Structure 1
Amino acid sequence: MKVLKFGGSSVANAENIQKVAAIVMSNSEQQVVVVSALGGVTDALIKAGTLAEQTDETYKDVLKELEKKHLDTARALLPVTHQSSCLSMIKQQFNELEEICNSVFYLKELSLRTRDRIISFGELLSSKIITAFLQSKHVDVEWLDSRKLIKTNSSFGFAAVNFETTNQLIITTIQALDKNIFLAPGFISSDNNNNTTTLGRGGSDYTAAIYASSLNAASLEIWTDVSGMMTADPRWVPNAKPIERISYQEAMELSHFGAKVVYPPTIQPVRQKNIPTWVKNTFAPNDAGTVIDSITQHDGDIVTGISSINAIAVLSLEGSGMIGIPGFSKRLFEALASANINVVLITQSSSEHSICVAVNTSDAIKAKEVVDSTFEVEIAQAKVEPLKVETEHSVIALVGDKMKSHPGISGRMFDALGRNGINVRAIAQGSSERNISAVIAHADIKKAVNVLHEAFFENVYKQLNIFILGVGNVGGKLLGQVLQQQAFLQEHLNLQVRVTGIANSRKMLFADNGHDIDLKQWKEELSEQGEPMQLSKFVETIIQKNFRNSVLVDVTANEDVAKVYEQLLSKAVSVVACNKIAASASYTHYSELKSLAKEYNALFLFETNVGAGLPVIGTLNDLRRSGDVVTKIQAVLSGTLNFVFNNYDATRPFAEVVKQAQDEGYTEPDPRLDLGGTDVMRKILILAREAGEQLEMEDITNNGFLPEECFKGSVDDFYKAMLKHEDHFKKLYKAAASENCKLKFVAEFINSPEGKTANVGLKHIPADSDFYHLYGKDNIVLFYTQRYPEQPLVVKGAGAGADVTASGVFADIIRVARV
C-alpha cells in the first residue's frame, strides 16, 4: 500500500488531471490517492463567502464562474456517455453551496464553522470528478469521504486530529472494501457532531500523511509542480539545486520556514511510522524528486536548504523594570497565547532588559493590544515601555542536520549578509543547531536568499552586478574588455561579471529580469531602449534592484556623480571611481567615504585616479599595510603633459601638440585641467592621503607654466590664447634644451621631520634622472620609504589612454569580487 497526494496545480484543469490519471494507472500497487481542489477554487470559495457576509451580491457571480469551471472540466474529461451523473452531482453541490452562501448573505455573518463548510466543496467536487474520470477509464476505484474517516475536534479552520479514532476508521474501511485504488478528498474532516472541519491551508498533504500513517503505507508520494524540494525558492534563485535526500527534521524546519512544497504538519505522522515520503513532479514524473526519511547524516552540503517567512512583525518588550524580575517572559507568552497568536521566533538579551519575538504581521495589532493590556500597570509605572511593533520584516533560515558538527556556519552566514549591507534585526539558533534564523527587512529578503545561496551552495561562481555611469571612450573600452573576459573570469576565477545598468549623459538602460544587457549590442540597446538619463533615478534604481554584490562604476569626470557615492556606500553598494573629484575633495569628505565603505562592508576603489592602469595606489597601500613608511613621493603623473612635452620641440605650435593629445584621448574634456596642473595636484593629493596625511588642495603649491590668459573663456579661447603665446612656450623649451634637459611636469610629496609639503610644477630634467627616459604618455612614480631610502621603488608605464584606463577600472571591479 502506498499513498499519493496531488496538489492544486496537479489538478488545476482537465489536461493536468489526465496526467494525474496516467500516474495513478501506472502503479500496480494498492494505493490511496488524495487530491486537492481544482486550481484557485479554494480562494474563490473564500471570496464568495466573504462577499456574501458583506452583503455583496457579486458572490453569486463567483459561484457561477466556479460552477462553470467544474462543469467544463467534467465535460472535457468524460465521454458523453459518462457525463450525466457527474454533471448532475456538480449541479446538486452548487445548489447546496448557493443556499449556504444565501444564508450568510441574509445573516451578514460568516462563522468559522460555516466557512469550513463552504470551502470543503472544493475538494469534494474535484475528488468526485477525478473518480468519475478514472471510472470512465475502467479503473476500479472507490471514492472515500474523508469527513467520515478523519475525526477532529471542533477548532474550525485548523482542527486537531483524533488519531486513535481516525486510525481505526481508516483501517476498518479500507479492509472492508476489496479495491486496489481509493480516491479521497484532502483537507476536509469532521468533528464528533459530524460538522465539517478543515485541517488548515495546505491540509491535503496532511490528509495524505494521516492515511499513510494509519495504513502503515510503504511510502507517501506528494505530487506537485516542482521536482522535489530545492535548496532555495527557484523563483528567487535561478541556480537553486534539487535536494535528493533530506531528514524528517530538516524537512519540518524548511517547511515551517516558508518552503511551500510540503505542509508543515505533514511530516509528523509519517515520521512516527518511519514512512519514506517522496516529493515528485506531476509534469516530469520521471524526475528523481526528493525523499524525506529518517537518515540524518546524509551526504551532501553542510547546509541543506534556505527558506524564509514573509510578512513578519517584530515585537519588542523592553524596560529596566524587567531586570532580575522573574515572570515577564511567562506573562508575555501567555498574553500572546490567549489571543491565539503564534510566535515564529524568540530572542532575549542576557541583560533581561528586553524580549524580542516575531509574529505574523496580521497578528501585530492584536498582539500590541493584549500585551499592553497585560502590562498596563508596569507601563503606567514606567517599568516597562509599551510594546514596540516593527512591521515589513521577514525571517530567513539556514537549515541542515550537519551544521551542528561544523563550526563557523553562523559566522559565514552573517558575514555574507553583512558584506551585502543586510542588517540583521534579531537572531535565533536552536540547541540542535539544525536551524539558524535571522529577522531582516522584507525589502532585503530576495537579496539575502541569493547571497546565502551563493555563500553555501554556489561553489561554481560568484556573481558581480555592475552599473556603469559613463560609456563614452573609456566606458566603451571597459564594456569591450568585460565582454572579452567574461568566459575567462567564470572559468578561472569562478566570477560572473554581469553588467546590469549603463548610462551616458543622455540615456540610461537597465537589465530587466532574465535579460542582461547585450555587451555586443549595448550601443543599439542604449539608443533604442534606453530611457532619459536622470542621475537620481539611476541611483534609486540601483538601490531598488538591491542585487547582491552591486558595484557603481563611475567613468565620468562629473561632480554630481561623485556626490552620490555616499548614498550608495551607505546601502552597501561598492564604488569603483575613475572620477577623481571625490577622492580629491575636502579631506573630511574623503575620510567620510572611506568610513562609510568600512561601516557598510563595501569598497571604495579609485586606482585609476592616479596612474590609469598602473598599480600606483595598490603598491602604496601594500607598502603601508606591510608596515613601511613613505618619506617621499616623486612622480610624473600626467600622461597628457608627458605626451605634450615629449612631442613639443618648438618646430610646430604648442597648441597643435595639445590638440593632438586631446584628439588621441589623453586629456580631460577640458585640457586646462591637465595643462594647468589641477589634475596633477589632485593626483599627488590622493597619494599623500593614501600615504596617511591629511592634506587639502590648498596645501599643494602649483608652479604653473600657462599664461593667465589661457584660463579665460571657453576651450576654443584656450587654444587661441596658446597660439598667441607661442613664444612663451618656445622659451620654456629652449631654456631646458640649453641645459641638455627635458621638460617634465613633476609632482612631489615630502614627509620629513621638518614638515609635510607637496608641490607640482614644470622642471628641467637632466639625463641621469629616472624621469629623463620617459616617453610618449608614460607615467612614473618613485616611492622613497624607510625600506627604500636611496633606491626608490618605481612604478612606470602608460599613464593615459582609454584602453589602459579601462583596464585599471576593470582591475578594481575584480578586486571588489575577490574580497
Structure 2
Amino acid sequence: MVRRHLHKFGGSSLADADCYRRVAHILLTHGQSNDLVVVSAAGKTTNKLYHLLALRQQGAIWQEALAELIQYQQHMVEQLLTNDSARDLRERLGADKAEIVTLLQLDAMTHYQTSYLVSFGERWSARLMAALLRGSGVEACHVYAPSILVADEGIMPKIRMDQSRQLVQRLLDESGDQRLVITGFICSNPQGETLLLGRNGSDFSATLIAALAGINRVTIWTDVEGVFNADPNKISDAQLLDSMTLAEADRLARLGSPVLHERTLQPLFDTEVSLAVRSSYASHTKFTLISPVTHSASAPVVTSLQRVSLLRCQVAGDGKELLAALNQQGVPLLAHWLHTNEQEACELSLACTLDNGQQTLALLQQLSDAFGLSAINRCDDYGLVALVSADANVYRRGFARLLNRRAFALYQDELSLVTLVPAAQVTTLTQKVHRRCAGPRKRIGVILLGTGNIGSAWLQLFAKARANLSNELQISLELLGVVSSTKAYIDAKGIDASVGIERLVEQGQEWQFTDLFEQLTALPCDELIALDISASASLTLHYPAFLAHGIHMVSANKLAGSSPLPFYRQLKQQLNVRRLFWRYNASCGAGLPVQHALNDLHNSGDKVEAIGGIFSGTLCWLFEKFDGSQDFSQLVLEAKELGITEPDPRDDLSGRDMQRKLLILAREIGLPLELDDIELTSLVPDHLQHVSLTEFIDQLSDLNGPMATALADVAAQGQVIRYVASLDLQDGKCRAKVGLESVARTHPYANLTPGDNVFVIRSACYHSNPLIIRGPGAGREVTASAVQSDLAQICHDLLHE
C-alpha cells in the first residue's frame, strides 16, 4: 500500500496522558493504517534533559531531577497501558535511567554522548505512542531516526539525501502496512553517532522524511489551529488562513513567524508534498494547508518582530556586490535598504534577527577592506513590521500610507513588504497594517436609483471598474440593488452588473419607500451608498430618510442641490451629525471637475469673485449653430430629432436647468441663495410656457423673430450671442443671472465645440486671467463617469475617517 500521510506531534501535543489519548484518537480517525508518525519529546522533557546536563556541569546534585523526570514518564506509562505493556516500558525506562546515570557520572562527555542523552525524550515518546496504538488494536512499531537519517557534521547537520532516501525506502518496504512512530529531532553521522537537528528539529524531521518517502501530505499537529493572518495574541480579530503557498510560508518563516521555522519548509521545495498545520486540541476545526502552488486568492499575512538588529555602513560602489557576498555567506537578512546620502556616499542598512545581529556585524567587519566599508554600527532599538503575500504589490499603497517619518521606506520583494520602526511603534503599526491590508475587508454596498440611459451607462462602467477599485482600496464593493421608478431588485449576496439593466429591472418587485428602506437597512454591509441617477423630485424629497438610515448619497439629480434653502441646510446638518457623505459633482458639468476646482480654491485660501459660463450642452449646440443661415426654430427641431434636447425642448430653452446648476455652484462656495435669487430670462415666450408640447412645437416659429433681432443687434457690434449663467461678487453684493448675452468673438464663450460646457472662474488669484474649465458637460458616458468618480471618492473617504 502506498503511504500517503505523515503526522507530526510536538511536545505540547504530548504533554500528559490525556494528550496521548487525544493523539491516538487523531491517528485512528484522521489517517490510514500505514501512515507515518513523527513525535517530539513529551512536554518539557527536552528542557529537563538539558537541565540535567547543566546541573552536572555546575557540579550540582542532579539525581533528584532525574528521578522526577523518570517518574513523569512512568506515570504516563501506567495511565495509558495495560499491565503487560506497562511492565515492558517500565523495565526499559529503568534501563534508560541507568544509562543516563552512567553518562552523567563520566568525567567528560563527548558532543555525541550529550546529543545521545538529550535524544531520550523523543525515544520515550515514540515507544509510548507505538505501545498505545498497539493497545488500540493497531499494528505499530517505533523507529529510532538515526537508523534512517544520516548526515555530515557541521554547524547544522547536513543530511545525506541519497543515502537517507535509500534507508527510508528500505524501512518502508520492510515494515509493511504497520504504523511507524519515528523519533524527531535526531539523526546520526556515518559512524552511527547521534546528532541533533537543532531548533524546530522535529518539524524538520517530519518534512524531510515525507520528502524522502514520497509522501503526499504532512500534517504538523500543534497547539494552534494553523497559520493566522496576524498573531492572534496581539491582534484580536486575526483570521485563520485556509491556504497559502509554500513560497509565502517560507518568506513568513524567514521574517521570524513562530508558527513554522524556515528549515521545516526547505525539504518540501521541488516536491509535490503539501503541509497542513492543525491543532491537536481541536482536530475538528479548520486548518491551514500549505501547498507548492494554490489556485485560490492570496490572503495577506501581517507579521512583526518587537526588536531586530539594524546594521548600517557606508560602502564603496553601489553595494550590490556586498549584498551578493552576504547572500553567498548565508547571512539570513530580513530586509535591506540602499540609498545615497548628502555626500553622495552609498549607505547600506541591513535588518536581521537579534540572534544573528552580532554574527552579521562581525562578518561586515571582516569584509570591510574587501568592499570599502566604513562607519559600521549596530542598533537594536528598531522593530520590524511586514506583510507577506504573493500579491504584495497590491497592498503597497495602503501599507505606505500608514508610515510616519520615523519609519523606514518599504523594502519590497516578490512576496513581502517590510519596514522598520522604533520598537515602541511596532504594535500600533502592526494593528494598523492588519486593519488596512489584512483585516476583514469592509463591505460597501451600492444601490442604483435610476435605470435610464445614464444608469445603464454607469452599470457598464461599474462592471469594468469594480474589481480594480476593490483591490486598490482593499474593500469589497458590491452592487446590491437596482431601483427603477416602479420596480426594485435587491440581492444581499451581490448583483452581477454585467447582466444588463433591462434584465435586472425585470427581476425586480414593485416597491414603496417604506418597504425599500426596510430592505436596505437589512443588507449585510458595513456602508451603503445610493446613487441617484434620476430626475425624480419625489426621490429628492426622501433624501432625509436615506440619510436617517445611514445611507451615503451620490447625485446626478440636481434637484436636491438646488432645493429650497431650509431643505438643503437640513441635508447638510444630517450629513454632519451622522458623519455621512453626499457628493453631487455629476449634477453640474457632468464629468468636468468644476466643484473640485471650487473646493481647491477655497482650501488654498483663495476667494472666488465670479463664476460664469454656459452650463447646458443643448444651448451651447444651438447658439454655436445659430448664425442666421436658418431659423432658430429649425435648429431646435433638428436638435430634438438628434436627441440633443430634452423630450420637451422647453426644459432646455427655459434656462431653468442652468439656473439650478448656478445655484448649486453658488452654494458650493458658501452663498445662501434660493433659486429665485437668480434672475432668469427664458427663451420661451410667456404664451407658450404652459401649452401642450404639440401646441408648442406648432408655434415654435414664434421664437424666430425675437431671436433674429437679437442676433442682428450683436452682429452689428461684431459680437456673437450666447445663453450664459453668471454670478458676480462685488463690494459684498451678489448678482446672479441666467439669460442671453453678447460676447466678443474672442471670448471663451464664443468658440466652443457644439455641445460643450464651459465654466469661467475668477478669483483673487485668477483675476486678470480666469480659470477656464471646458469640455463635454452632458452625455451618458461622461455623466456616468462623474457618478463613478463620486462613488470612488466616498469609498476613499470612508477608509480615511
Which TM-score band (shorter chain)? 0.5 to 0.7
Q: Aligned in 2, Cα 1:349/1:94: closer, same or farther, shift over 3 Å? A: farther
Q: Which residue in 1 is equivalent to 2:603? A: 625
Matched, 1:136 2:147: no
Q: Deviations over 1:604-652 (max 9, x none)?
A: xxxxxxx99999xxxx999841654499xxxxxxxxxxxxxxxxxxxxx
Amino acid across the alignment from 1:450: Q
Q: Which residue in 2 is equivalent to 1:456? A: 437
Structure 2 unpaired stretches of 5+:
444-520, 529-575, 581-597, 610-729, 732-762, 766-796
Matches within 5 A, 1:260-299: 260-299=258-297
SS of match in other structure, 1:284 = coil
Q: Which residue in 2 is equivalent to 1:95? A: 98
Match of 1:359 among 334, 352, 364: 352
2:76 & 2:381 partners in 1: Cα distance? Answer: 40
Q: Deviations over 1:189-210 (max 9, x none)?
A: 1111111112221122221222
1:326 & 1:397 partners in 2: Cα distance? Answer: 23
Comparing 75-84 and 174-183, the one that deviates more: 75-84
SS of match in other structure, 2:228 = coil
Q: Which residue in 2 is equivalent to 1:41? A: 45
Matched, 1:429 2:407: no
Q: Contact 1:160 / 1:199 at 8 angstroms: preserved in 2? A: no
1:332 & 1:232 partners in 2: Cα distance? Answer: 30
1:324 & 1:295 partners in 2: Cα distance? Answer: 35
Q: Aligned in 2, Cα 1:48/1:394: closer, same or farther, shift over 3 Å? A: farther
Matches within 5 A, 1:512-551: none
Q: Which residue in 2 is equivalent to 1:668? A: none
SS of match in other structure, 2:151 = coil
Q: Aligned in 2, Cα 1:614/1:424: closer, same or farther, shift over 3 Å? A: closer
Matched, 1:349 2:339: yes
SS of match in other structure, 1:272 = coil
Q: Which residue in 2 is equivalent to 1:69? A: 72
2:65 & 2:411 partners in 1: Cα distance? Answer: 44
Q: Contact 1:372 / 1:386 at 8 angstroms: preserved in 2? A: no
Amino acid across the alignment from 2:193: N
Q: Contact 2:319 / 2:346 at 8 angstroms: preserved in 1? A: no
Q: Which residue in 1 is equivalent to 2:210? A: 212
Matches within 5 A, 1:624-663: 624-625=602-603, 627-629=605-607
Amino acid across the alignment from 1:93: D
Matched, 1:237 2:235: yes
* TM-score normalized by the length of structure 2: 0.53
- Superposed displacement of residue 66, structure 1: 2.3
Q: Contact 1:277 / 1:292 at 8 angstroms: preserved in 2? A: yes
Q: Which residue in 2 is equivalent to 1:193? A: 191
Q: Aligned in 2, Cα 1:816/1:68: closer, same or farther, shift over 3 Å? A: farther
Q: Aligned in 2, Cα 1:614/1:78: closer, same or farther, shift over 3 Å? A: closer
Q: Which residue in 1 is equivalent to 2:178? A: 180
SS of match in other structure, 1:387 = strand
SS of match in other structure, 1:298 = coil
- Superposed displacement of residue 35, structure 1: 0.8
Amino acid across the alignment from 1:294: P
SS of match in other structure, 1:412 = helix
- Superposed displacement of residue 446, structure 1: 2.8
Matches within 5 A, 1:198-597: 198-299=196-297, 302-318=298-314, 322-323=316-317, 328-329=322-323, 337=329, 342-349=332-339, 353-375=346-368, 384-403=373-392, 406=394, 409-418=395-404, 423-425=406-408, 427-430=410-413, 433-459=414-440
Matched, 1:147 2:146: yes
Q: Aligned in 2, Cα 1:219/1:440: closer, same or farther, shift over 3 Å? A: same
Match of 2:86 among 75, 79, 83: 83
1:325 & 1:270 partners in 2: Cα distance? Answer: 33
SS of match in other structure, 1:223 = strand
SS of match in other structure, 1:254 = helix
* TM-score normalized by the length of structure 1: 0.52
Matches within 5 A, 1:669-708: none
1:65 & 1:352 partners in 2: Cα distance? Answer: 62
Q: Contact 2:254 / 2:334 at 8 angstroms: preserved in 1? A: no
- Superposed displacement of residue 332, structure 1: 6.2
SS of match in other structure, 2:159 = coil
CA RMSD of aligned residues (A): 4.4
Q: Which residue in 1 is equivalent to 2:35? A: 31
- Superposed displacement of residue 88, structure 1: 2.1
- Superposed displacement of residue 69, structure 1: 2.0
Match of 2:12 among 9, 13, 24: 9
1:281 & 1:316 partners in 2: Cα distance? Answer: 41
Q: Contact 1:220 / 1:276 at 8 angstroms: preserved in 2? A: yes
Q: Contact 2:338 / 2:349 at 8 angstroms: preserved in 1? A: yes
- Superposed displacement of residue 222, structure 1: 1.6
1:327 & 1:249 partners in 2: Cα distance? Answer: 25
1:224 & 1:213 partners in 2: Cα distance? Answer: 20
Q: Deviations over 1:638-680 (max 9, x none)?
A: xxxxxxxxxxxxxxxxxxxxxxxxxxxxxxxxxxxxxxxxxxx
Q: Aligned in 2, Cα 1:627/1:442: closer, same or farther, shift over 3 Å? A: closer
Amino acid across the alignment from 2:401: D
- Superposed displacement of residue 168, structure 1: 0.5
Structure 1 unpaired stretches of 5+:
463-487, 496-610, 632-751, 754-784, 788-814
Q: Aligned in 2, Cα 1:444/1:117: closer, same or farther, shift over 3 Å? A: farther
Matched, 1:118 2:117: yes
- Superposed displacement of residue 298, structure 1: 1.6
2:105 & 2:402 partners in 1: Cα distance? Answer: 56
1:493 & 1:218 partners in 2: Cα distance? Answer: 42
2:20 & 2:157 partners in 1: Cα distance? Answer: 29
1:182 & 1:223 partners in 2: Cα distance? Answer: 17
Matched, 1:18 2:21: yes
Amino acid across the alignment from 1:45: L
- Superposed displacement of residue 155, structure 1: 2.2
Q: Contact 2:152 / 2:190 at 8 angstroms: preserved in 1? A: yes
1:31 & 1:76 partners in 2: Cα distance? Answer: 25
Q: Aligned in 2, Cα 1:398/1:58: closer, same or farther, shift over 3 Å? A: farther
- Superposed displacement of residue 280, structure 1: 1.9
Amino acid across the alignment from 1:305: V
Q: Deviations over 1:344-388 (max 9, x none)?
A: 33332266622222233234334434533543799xxxx753421
Aligned residues: 483
SS of match in other structure, 2:402 = helix
Q: Deviations over 1:123-151 (max 9, x none)?
A: 11111121222222232101111111011
1:38 & 1:100 partners in 2: Cα distance? Answer: 21
Q: Aligned in 2, Cα 1:243/1:86: closer, same or farther, shift over 3 Å? A: same
Q: Which residue in 2 is equivalent to 1:776? A: none
Q: Deviations over 1:205-256 (max 9, x none)?
A: 2212222222222322221122222111111112111111211211212222
1:313 & 1:349 partners in 2: Cα distance? Answer: 19
Q: Contact 2:42 / 2:121 at 8 angstroms: preserved in 1? A: yes
- Superposed displacement of residue 317, structure 1: 1.4
- Superposed displacement of residue 56, structure 1: 4.6
Identity, % of aligned positions: 20
Q: Deviations over 1:43-95 (max 9, x none)?
A: 33333333433x15154444333223222222221233322221222232233
Q: Contact 1:397 / 1:436 at 8 angstroms: preserved in 2? A: yes
